[in-house]
Amino acid sequence: MEILMALLCAALLLWFNRLIFTRLISPAQQGTVPVFAVIPAVGDGDGLEQTLRHLHWLQGEKLSQFTLLIVDAGLTPAGQDLVQALQRKDTSLLFCPAEEATLILKRKDDHGYFSL
């Protein structure tokens, strides 16, 4: 009986730790202002798929609602092909050159936010 109680307590402790940890890493949401996860991509896009996988995990766990924006900060043709393949998998994924992202973030009329 004691072993069963210890296993139950350990399982409950693990569940509680996961709950607390996921709430701590989730970004705060404020009102209806759109939130963007800006991902700078360079070279062949090494690590881009892993980064997107982790951000999709946050969205899947309902920890954060944001729009993914990949910014071309010097992608090679192979990197641009990778981004296009990722956009075919996820149609909500946005992509723009660095100059355009800078202009979007510097706009004064809507505090840098653009609507979809």
**Residue 67 structural domain:** 33-106
> Which residues make Cβ contacts (< 8 Å) with residue 46, sequence separation at least 6?
none
Between strands 67-75 and 36-43, the pairing is parallel
Q: Length of the chain in residues, anyone?
A: 116
- Please check whether residue 25 lies inside any domain of the structure: no
In a domain, 111, yes or no: no
CA separation for the pair 39, 20 (Å, rounded): 26
Burial class (CB in 10 A: 0-12, 13-18, 19+), 11: exposed
- Is position 90 within any domain? yes
In a domain, 85, yes or no: yes
Please tell me the distance from the alpha carbon of residue 1 to that of residue 78, in angstroms, as a whole number: 60
Residue 22 falls inside a structural domain:
no
pTM score, whole prediction: 0.62
Q: What is the pLDDT of residues 77-116, one digit of tens each?
A: 999 999 999 999 988 888 888 888 877 656 555 544 544 4
Furthest C-alpha separation in the chain: 66
Q: Give the closest residue to 90 by CA, choosing from 64, 57, 56, 61.
A: 56
pLDDT of residue 115: 47
Inform me whether the pLDDT recorded for 20 exceeds 60. yes
Does residue 44 form part of some domain?
yes
Looking at residue 8, its pLDDT comes to: 93
- 55 located within any domain: yes
Structural domains in the chain (count): 1
In a domain, 10, yes or no: no
